Amino acid sequence: VDVARGYLAVGTRSGRRLAIVGDSGGQCGVAADVASAGGLSVPDLGAASIARLGSRLPAGAARDNPVDLAGRGEADLTTYATVLDDVLADPGIDTAVLTGYFGRYGTDNPALTSHELGVADRIAATARSRDKTVVVHTMAPHGAVAEALWRQGVPATGRIEDAVRMVSGLAALSCELPGTTDLPLPADEPPIRPGYWAARELLRSVGVAMPPARLARTPDQVREVASRLTPPFVLKAGWIEHKSEADAVLLGLRDEDALLAAFASMWARLGEGDYVVEQQDTRPGCVEMLVGARRDPALGPVVVVGLGGTETEVWQDIAIECAPVPTGTAQAMVARLRCAPLLAGWR
């Protein structure tokens, strides 16, 4: 609901590089934590922006991002609008959240209502002129100022979590990059055969690197395969989907004898079928990821990427987009995963 209201107010002119402006250091810190947890970045401002802010704010005020007004907003309400204009002028910022007391001044002191409404008009005009999104977190979400902001395309919420959820959702909607709908559709292909080997061959046909592997159904075939591959080996029962639950995949088979013994044990339990023998990937620092696609009955074809392995369902660290997914959207999907730092060499 928050994202839908935000979309109706501002459309999708949003991004994940967030500037935070507040009249309390504590609220700025809370906003930064919530933004980070919501998949948004709070980047440093450029030198020119910091210099402009330095001329407006008291000595000692935080001017980098988050920006703490350090009492200047209370002394002069127009500071809220001018500082927001400064941060939105920064080319490294997509969106700004204003958090704190603004919107409440007129509620607590009716003599300030007219002045505060005028500042709200300036904030809305700044958002329009910069063609960037501003979301206000206010202590008076149902007051006259909040209503005026909503009417002019500036969402105003009573919880910082709601404000950040709105920004994050609008950024996800804006991930549809120009040209997405112009991607060529693949030619009609015959249905994909079931089983692991068929999936391997499909991926190899479109350029996805796979470890060397061979099919085997008998001990003699396993022995021949072992002579063509380099240990350690991996043995899989190719027709079983959830292999680990059925002990249908064995890793680290160090030589031909270990491979033959594993095959005999697996064949006795699972019976005849297409067994796959692969060279095990032993490179250090590998990260197991999940990439998949399916045709959803409501959304049509969708693509998913996430943390892989036997605990995928536990962590639920995934990103989903409607197909077709161009390179830019795919990179954005990976970047918003909680496990993304692992891919950059964490520690």
Asked if residue 315 is part of any domain, the answer here is: yes
pLDDT value of residue 184: 67
Asked if residue 191 is part of any domain, the answer here is: no
Asked if residue 210 is part of any domain, the answer here is: yes
Does residue 305 sit in the same domain as residue 258?
no
What letter represents residue 112's amino acid?
Answer: L
Asked if residue 223 is part of any domain, the answer here is: yes
Does residue 216 sit in the same domain as residue 275?
yes
Does residue 218 sit in the same domain as residue 91?
no
Does residue 75 sit in the same domain as residue 35?
yes
Total structural domains within the chain: 3
Asked if residue 73 is part of any domain, the answer here is: yes
Does residue 32 sit in the same domain as residue 75?
yes
Contacts with 24 (C-beta within 8 Å, 6 or more apart), sequence order = 68, 99, 100, 101
CATH code: domain of residue 116: 3.40.50.261
Contacts with 1 (C-beta within 8 Å, 6 or more apart), sequence order = none
Does residue 137 sit in the same domain as residue 274?
no
Domain-ending residue, one of 279, 297, 330: 279
Asked if residue 183 is part of any domain, the answer here is: no
Does residue 23 sit in the same domain as residue 162?
yes
User: Whose CA is closest to 134, among 211, 81, 64?
Assistant: 81
Does residue 227 sit in the same domain as residue 159?
no
CATH code: domain of residue 225: 3.30.1490.20
Does residue 298 sit in the same domain as residue 336?
yes
Does residue 8 sit in the same domain as residue 143?
yes
pLDDT value of residue 181: 53
Does residue 241 sit in the same domain as residue 140?
no
Domain-ending residue, one of 239, 254, 279: 279
Asked if residue 114 is part of any domain, the answer here is: yes
Does residue 218 sit in the same domain as residue 304?
no
Query: Which residue positions in the chain have pLDDT lower than 50?
Result: 177-180
Domain that holds residue 54: 2-173
| C-alpha dihedral sign at 262, 263, 265, 266 | positive
